[in-house]
Structure 1
Amino acid sequence: MGSFLSQPSGRHAQKTDRDILAKLRRSRRVIDRILSITGAPSVSVRVIRGGKTLYTAHHGFRDVERRLAPDNDTLHNINSMSKAFISALAAIIADTGALNLTDPVATHLPDFSFKDKGLAHQLTILDLLSHRSGLNNPDAIWLGSRNSLLLTKEDAWRMLATLEQVAPTRSSFIYNNWAYMLVGGILEEVTGRRLADLLHSYIFEPLGMTRTGTAWDPADCNTAKSYSVLSNLSLVEIPPPQLGAGTAMEAPGGIKSTISDLSRFYTAFLSAVMDDFRQPTGGGGGEPPLTRPSIFRSCGELITHHSTIPPASLREQGYGLGWARAQLPGPMGRIGLNPAIGDPPDVGKGAPSTLVLYHNGSMPGSTTCVCLVPSEDVVILVLQNSITAVDTADIVCQLVLELLLNPTQPIDFESQARALTREAVARQGRVGAELLARRELGTTPSKPLRAYAGVYRNYVHTFSIEIRARGDRLCMRLQGLASEEFWLSHYEHDTFCWWMPHDEIMRRGRYTEYGPEHYLISFSLTAGGKVGALHWAWDPARLDRPEVFTKETFVLQKE
């Protein structure tokens, strides 16, 4: 582990701030071209080296209609970059003696249990923070169109209790937002304080992060607007991410911050990491201990390898607590959106091997990325304000990283952005084509359309699907909301389809990452021949076991 503190040799050891700054300034045109390829309206980039800001650049517009550029104090939702804050907070609170990271969930939430009653006694806080709980991660149930939240915090906790293990504990990496929600609940329980207050007291205030929190301020006039990007690169404004203070997913992705404030957090964290690994292991020898005060605790535990991110690779691809780890040369961004579109290239080919710590973040209307390079004492921050076909922030972050590493075989990031965008836009069409190819032709519904109308609920009554008959068609409303209404076309037998083309999904501010099964709604009959249940494979980890929604006794009238 400690080897990442060693300095690169040869020509790579001669990089000066002036050399790097010159390259970064020349990169402006490349980044602008990447934005023109992906359609992202803006991106903000900062590079910090040796604790000092080396470079900051703001491209495009945080508000396209008013042509307002982002600046150092523009607020963005940082999405899953929030996970490093939650992990750091857990370690700080553990240092007070209120908990241990190895405590099982049941130690602090004795009344909480999963479907498997013994699981809460088995899973630890560390398992949850390192995504090795084995729990399924049904994000489709809480995130609706245009950043709407489909579950109250209370119902999300009831839903959390229904999660199942799809892999044994500590056997594999399964990214899980619900696990971080559970950790947030544990921290609130052991302290008797709200998560937002804990973050403010232990992290934001000590570091002087005056514009950081977990709630939007409607009066704040320097907030990045959120956009969806259509296939012709035109923009559709959508509401900003709504997860935050008082909502279910505050912990995994609810922090809002700025380039300036985030610089304070990541600079202080990297400094604490460096100090931890400079400490002598025994009574003599080694470098003398450093005495810079730090709010952080157990940094070694936070960044060490706790689970392996698939697929298998020659060099390390791991996850700590709120941090992904990649040994370069090798792929990056495995927890981001782009690897699902195309195989990521090896970053840093031809440069000395080095470890990077990084994290991607994504919500409709926002993608973010941070990268720490301990061997260079460097922080790279990228914030952008749209959901494009690809993860633009990830591409820009890797571009900046390669400018720093100076590899002999650099990636052509413009070509990569173009290829990924083309593939991502075509992906939804291929899902539609696959649905057509699988369809059994010549079948009809077994009942009149009005027989399918009604309200269907999951077994813990936290989620409802309302089916309505409109003329010769059906539509469904998730949670009964007009904003979550989708037309259903007959697919085969008693199965209907709600597939939409790429641009319709983007207009609704939704992700285009789901396969064919996600768009099929099947109905089953009771022994008496009546429509009794609806089946939906909303969880990619349980495609063979779709969720069952039971029909309520009353029926909605035909419209």
Structure 2
Amino acid sequence: MSTRSDIQALALAACLALPGAVFTQSLPEDLDAYIEDVRSEWRVAGLSISVVKDGAVVYAKGFGDRERGSGLAVDEHTLFAIGSNTKAFTAAGLGILVDDGKLSWDDRVIDHLPWFRLKEPYVTREITVRDILSHRSGLGRRGDSNWYASDFDREEIVRRIRHLEPNSSFRSQAGYQNTMFLTAGLVIEAVTGESWDTWIKHRILQPLGMTRSRTSVLELEGMDNVATPHAILDDEVVVVPHRNIDNIGPAGSILSSALEMTYWMRAMLGEGAFEETRIVSENVVSEVWKSNIIYPLPPSYTKLFPSTHFSTYGLGWGLRDYRGRLVATHTGGIDGMLSQILLLPEEELGIVVLTNTSPSGSLAQSTVTFHIVDAYLGASGETDWRAAFRELGESQKKQQVETRQKRDASRVADTTPTLALDAYAGKYEDTMYGALSFSIKGDALVLRRHSDWIADLEHWHFDTFLARWRDPVMGESLVSFRIAANGKVSSVDVEGLAEFERQ
């Protein structure tokens, strides 16, 4: 399914380059103009950024519009969805319980959620809180369609994960897993008796003074100064709705501003304390920034950062090095909203960039972030980050075009479906992804799954159809029906989802 751009891959740009020598310890010259040029080049509707250094906010500004063409300017107070940067908050929420003696990082998940199950009984029995916070469950980046735009609630999503086949052995390799972070949120609820949302608000957001930050888009009603999501579809920047992802909240639903994220960055760089407020202990900060699993970077990034020495994942944080300095970083993305946070603890330096246009916001935020980091590390001008990420973006766009061309070239012309359309209509089900149905409208099939997965089908070839999702962010999927020996439809394979059995 060509919906969400591979934000996590784009985002892993927080790596390293060459050792620096002279440290200027200052922001780049003409930073405002640089950011505005980058925003304009990448057609990002709005961007907000903040920089903290040595415990103080040294830069916090907004650029562009909350909604393209509205004339409503983005500033440092504008709210954006931070997506997977929520994961670090969930890890800290568990860290508070560790500090309180109510939990251990190495507690088994089933000790707190007795009903929790995975496909492999051994993994069910042994998987720990540390495992589910470090992407080493063996499940990989799969299962997201169980929560994305779905009607399943949080517990149902976790209950259904028992049907997902592992793609690697337990703890053997990193595999980005949103549902495991949702599970971590349910552990918080089981231990505290409070919802994840309430715990994060009462123990992190409110004590830090993050008074405008929210854990759900449903809380935005009536609020002002909120960024509108945008997406580049068919080469046009268009407004898209806020995606409600409350059902995966602990993995990605927080909304915040560049200014309020400085409180969070200063707390982490302050070893768990911001001004007079301690959120977690120094031990917790040390623990979340310890490597738990190797996180390989794709070849495109080793080219971009040729002297990368390591890339790992801690607890809710990506860890790597840059010019001889430890980097704790993460990115986040949900429809039309992309974010990046990068901390250099040894330099007491932190940067957060929030954008409201996908997928180009990812390239823009990385360009700006490393331009600033290099200035503080005495390496200004050594890398032309605009050119480097422009080349990366062009390469990714070329790859997308080639993939589509390859798909189109595989289409066999002048074929017809084996059966009449009404023979394909009916209900189908998968143990993990649930039910879907096909009905006939006019002379075409319509696919429905949950409230928002609705697609109009057109014949592709043989018994395969092209599904165009009515939500344009979700793109297109190939849908292939299987005909059994008795001449009837037995199942249907939906690209990017699963094979659903005829009911």
Query: TM class by shorter-chain length?
Result: 0.7 to 0.9
1:320 aligned partner, one-letter code: G
Counterpart of 1:249 in 2: which secondary structure? helix
Shift of 1:149: 4.0
Which residue of 1 is the match for residue 61 of structure 2? 57
Which residue of 2 is the match for residue 382 of structure 1? 353
Counterpart of 2:271 in 1: which secondary structure? helix
The yes-or-no answer on 1:130 pairing with 2:94 is no
Aligned runs of 1:87-98 on 2, under 5 Å?
87-98=91-102
Q: Does structure 1 conserve the Cα–Cα contact (< 8 Å) formed by 2:215 and 2:249?
A: yes
Shift of 1:427: 4.1
The yes-or-no answer on 1:221 pairing with 2:224 is yes
The yes-or-no answer on 1:173 pairing with 2:174 is yes
Q: 1:485 to 1:10 in 2, by over 3 A?
A: closer
Q: Does structure 2 conserve the Cα–Cα contact (< 8 Å) formed by 1:302 and 1:322?
A: yes
Q: 1:120 to 1:9 in 2, by over 3 A?
A: closer
Which residue of 2 is the match for residue 317 of structure 1? 311
Shift of 1:273: 6.4
- For the aligned residue pairs, the C-alpha RMSD in angstroms reads 2.8
The yes-or-no answer on 1:183 pairing with 2:187 is no
Q: 1:219 to 1:454 in 2, by over 3 A?
A: same
Shift of 1:266: 1.1
Distance in structure 1 (CA, Å) of the matches to 2:382 and 2:234? 28
Which residue of 1 is the match for residue 462 of structure 2? 493
Which residue of 1 is the match for residue 494 of structure 2? 536
After superposition, what is the alpha-carbon deviation per residue over 1:6-42, rounded to whole angstroms, capped at 9, x for unaligned? Answer: xx998524x24xxx23x2x512222222222221111
Shift of 1:304: 0.9
Q: Does structure 2 conserve the Cα–Cα contact (< 8 Å) formed by 1:360 and 1:394?
A: no
After superposition, what is the alpha-carbon deviation per residue over 1:28-63, rounded to whole angstroms, capped at 9, x for unaligned? Answer: 222222222221111111111111111122111113
Shift of 1:471: 4.7
Shift of 1:162: 1.9
Which residue of 2 is the match for residue 346 of structure 1? none
After superposition, what is the alpha-carbon deviation per residue over 1:417-465, rounded to whole angstroms, capped at 9, x for unaligned? Answer: 43344344444432221113334455432211221111212125x5332
After superposition, what is the alpha-carbon deviation per residue over 1:202-226, rounded to whole angstroms, capped at 9, x for unaligned? Answer: 2122222211221223010121111
Aligned runs of 1:31-70 on 2, under 5 Å?
31-70=35-74
Which residue of 2 is the match for residue 477 of structure 1? 448
Q: Does structure 1 conserve the Cα–Cα contact (< 8 Å) formed by 2:48 and 2:78?
A: no
Aligned runs of 1:424-503 on 2, under 5 Å?
424-441=396-413, 443-459=415-431, 463-479=434-450, 481=451, 483-498=452-467
Counterpart of 1:118 in 2: which secondary structure? helix
After superposition, what is the alpha-carbon deviation per residue over 1:53-95, rounded to whole angstroms, capped at 9, x for unaligned? Answer: 1112211111334311122222111111111111111111122
Which residue of 1 is the match for residue 321 of structure 2? 327
The yes-or-no answer on 1:299 pairing with 2:271 is no
Which residue of 1 is the match for residue 267 of structure 2? 268
After superposition, what is the alpha-carbon deviation per residue over 1:444-499, rounded to whole angstroms, capped at 9, x for unaligned? Answer: 32211221111212125x533222334554332332x4x53323333343222337
Counterpart of 2:78 in 1: which secondary structure? coil
Q: Does structure 1 conserve the Cα–Cα contact (< 8 Å) formed by 2:67 and 2:239?
A: no
Distance in structure 1 (CA, Å) of the matches to 2:361 and 2:392? 7
Q: Does structure 2 conserve the Cα–Cα contact (< 8 Å) formed by 1:34 and 1:414?
A: yes
Structure 1 residues not aligned, in runs of 5+: 1-7, 276-290, 330-352, 513-517, 540-546, 553-559
Which residue of 1 is the match for residue 248 of structure 2? 249
Distance in structure 2 (CA, Å) of the matches to 1:367 and 1:315? 26
After superposition, what is the alpha-carbon deviation per residue over 1:487-520, rounded to whole angstroms, capped at 9, x for unaligned? Answer: 33333432223379xxx9xx7234x7xxxxx832
Q: Does structure 2 conserve the Cα–Cα contact (< 8 Å) formed by 1:273 and 1:300?
A: no
Distance in structure 1 (CA, Å) of the matches to 2:229 and 2:277? 38
Which residue of 1 is the match for residue 111 of structure 2? 107
Distance in structure 2 (CA, Å) of the matches to 1:466 and 1:117? 32
Q: Does structure 2 conserve the Cα–Cα contact (< 8 Å) formed by 1:318 and 1:325?
A: yes
The yes-or-no answer on 1:235 pairing with 2:219 is no
Q: 1:434 to 1:390 in 2, by over 3 A?
A: farther
Distance in structure 2 (CA, Å) of the matches to 1:390 and 1:311? 20
Structure 2 residues not aligned, in runs of 5+: 1-17, 303-307
Matched residues, number:
473
Distance in structure 2 (CA, Å) of the matches to 1:48 and 1:548? 49
Q: 1:217 to 1:389 in 2, by over 3 A?
A: closer
Deviates more, 1:310-319 or 1:373-382: 310-319
1:263 aligned partner, one-letter code: T
Distance in structure 1 (CA, Å) of the matches to 2:297 and 2:224? 43
The yes-or-no answer on 1:117 pairing with 2:121 is yes
Which residue of 1 is the match for residue 15 of structure 2? none
The yes-or-no answer on 1:192 pairing with 2:193 is yes
Larger strand proportion of the pair:
2
Q: 1:435 to 1:10 in 2, by over 3 A?
A: closer
Distance in structure 1 (CA, Å) of the matches to 2:361 and 2:69? 23
Q: Does structure 2 conserve the Cα–Cα contact (< 8 Å) formed by 1:39 and 1:388?
A: no
- Higher Cα Rg: structure 1 or 2? 1
Q: 1:436 to 1:217 in 2, by over 3 A?
A: closer
TM-score normalised according to structure 1 size: 0.78
After superposition, what is the alpha-carbon deviation per residue over 1:180-220, rounded to whole angstroms, capped at 9, x for unaligned? Answer: 00110111011111111111222122222211221223010
Shift of 1:164: 2.6
Q: Does structure 2 conserve the Cα–Cα contact (< 8 Å) formed by 1:40 and 1:388?
A: no
Shift of 1:525: 2.8
Shift of 1:115: 2.4
Q: Does structure 1 conserve the Cα–Cα contact (< 8 Å) formed by 2:267 and 2:273?
A: no
Counterpart of 2:163 in 1: which secondary structure? coil
The yes-or-no answer on 1:308 pairing with 2:308 is no
- Aligned with 2:387 (options 407, 415, 423): 415
Which residue of 2 is the match for residue 160 of structure 1? 161
1:321 aligned partner, one-letter code: L
- Aligned with 1:372 (options 343, 347, 350): 343
Q: 1:357 to 1:140 in 2, by over 3 A?
A: closer
Which residue of 1 is the match for residue 6 of structure 2? none
1:303 aligned partner, one-letter code: W
Counterpart of 1:430 in 2: which secondary structure? helix
Distance in structure 2 (CA, Å) of the matches to 1:162 and 1:423? 36
Q: Identity over aligned residues, as a percent?
A: 27
Q: 1:519 to 1:241 in 2, by over 3 A?
A: closer
Q: 1:203 to 1:310 in 2, by over 3 A?
A: same
Counterpart of 1:88 in 2: which secondary structure? helix
Poorly superposed stretches of 4+, deviation over 6 Å: none
Distance in structure 2 (CA, Å) of the matches to 1:30 and 1:218? 34
Which residue of 2 is the match for residue 359 of structure 1? 330
Q: Does structure 2 conserve the Cα–Cα contact (< 8 Å) formed by 1:390 and 1:424?
A: no
TM-score normalised according to structure 2 size: 0.86
